[in-house]
Amino acid sequence: MYLSSANQSYLLEQCQADAIFSEQLIQPLWSDYGQLVRVNLIGGEHGSVIVKQIDWAKRRSNVRGWGNDLSHQRKLRSYQVESSWYQGLAKDSPVTVPKVIASHQDDTQLLLILEDLAPLGFTQVLRQAKGETITSVIDWLAEFHGFYLGQTPTGLWEQGCYWHLQTRPDEWQAMAEGKLKQAASDIDAALRSCQYQTIVHGDAKLANFCFSKDHTQVAAVDFQYIGAGVGVQDLAYFISSVFNEYEAEQYEEQILSRYFERLNQAIEQYHPNINAAEVEREWRQLYCVAWADFCRFLQGWSPQHWKLTPYSQAQTQRALELLGW
């Protein structure tokens, strides 16, 4: 069993269930800070739930060796942010995200009991994607960003995305000397000073989306780095997780056209007083800046990372020229 007897009792009480039928480990959390468990229940409203349990006392180096106190505090903060998201702004989400059933925090742990998306039809977690699968995520991101446009990130990161500069000084310090390192603050400032801010997922890789069997319907999970930002930050990061360098270049305009078409529709629906064309103009220009910001992180964190491709480097160079470097 993965849950302690106290956590089992709490879960049964919150779910108004009679008993636990089984527990299934989905995966350990990043850097072994806890675990994600599917719990099948007998009785009550929920046949199964997802339990995310975080052990505050655990402190591990991640797979690439970054495990100092700043890294530890960032991870702890990320779980608190995720709990705040589920209990607050997530309740209004126009796109599918898990509903929170209960949350408990004490000196030793944080426990999140979440809706299981599998019974709703979101059973597929993919390692590769193409065609309609990619389009469904682009549409999800566009509607998400359009809906939360101008929203204050109450309880969330003041600046979303797990790689943002303020929380990654060690990775910046580890970068090789060069224009990208020197321009890091200007890249960060360009994104932060953007007039049209929204709420970004902050870790919008393929692995954090769950799909229907035909891959046309999608839901998102793992909101630890959700906060204020520019929509194309999520878009660029997602593209980096599904396309190689040749595909990213080949389909760039198609991707951007689809995203902004759906974003404009969402803005017109949810914020008719905002000029969607102005949002598109500003965010299109910042697409390369979003790539450069992510590449800045990668060059310090893992300078041989496979995502540091000629395409991402070309986007970075475009951003540097845009910012006068």
pLDDT in tens, 154-189: 999 999 999 999 999 999 999 999 999 999 999 999
**Domain 5-119 falls under CATH 3.30.200.20:** yes
pLDDT tens digits for 101-147?
999 998 889 999 999 999 999 999 999 998 889 999 999 999 999 99
pLDDT at 68: 66
- What stretch(es) of the chain map to CATH 3.30.200.20? 5-119
Contact residues for 101 (Cβ-Cβ < 8 A; gap 6+): 14, 15, 46, 49, 113, 114, 115
| Chain centre to alpha carbon of residue 292 | 18
Query: First-to-last CA distance in the chain?
Result: 56
Our measurement of the distance from residue 56's CA atom to the centroid of its chain's CA atoms, rounded to an integer in Å, reads: 21
pLDDT band at 59 (very low <50, low <70, confident <90, very high): low
Q: In terms of Cα–Cα distance, which of 158, 162, 157, 159 is closest to 301?
A: 162
Listed in sequence order, the DSSP H helices in 16-68 are: none
pLDDT score of 264 more than 60:
yes
| Residue 104 CB partners (closer than 8 Å, separation 6+) | 10, 110, 111
Residue spans in the chain of domains classed CATH 3.90.1200.10 = 121-322
Q: How far apart are CA 320 and CA 8, in angstroms?
A: 53
Taking each helix axis as running N to C, give the angle between helix 252-270 and helix 276-285, from 0 to 180 degrees, rounded to the nearest 10.
150
pTM of the entire structure?
A: 0.95
- Give 163-185 as a DSSP string: T-GGG-HHHHHHSPSSHHHHTHH
The helix/strand count (H/E) of the chain reads as 12, 9
CATH fold for domain 121-322: Aminoglycoside 3'-phosphotransferase; Chain: A, domain 2 (3.90.1200)
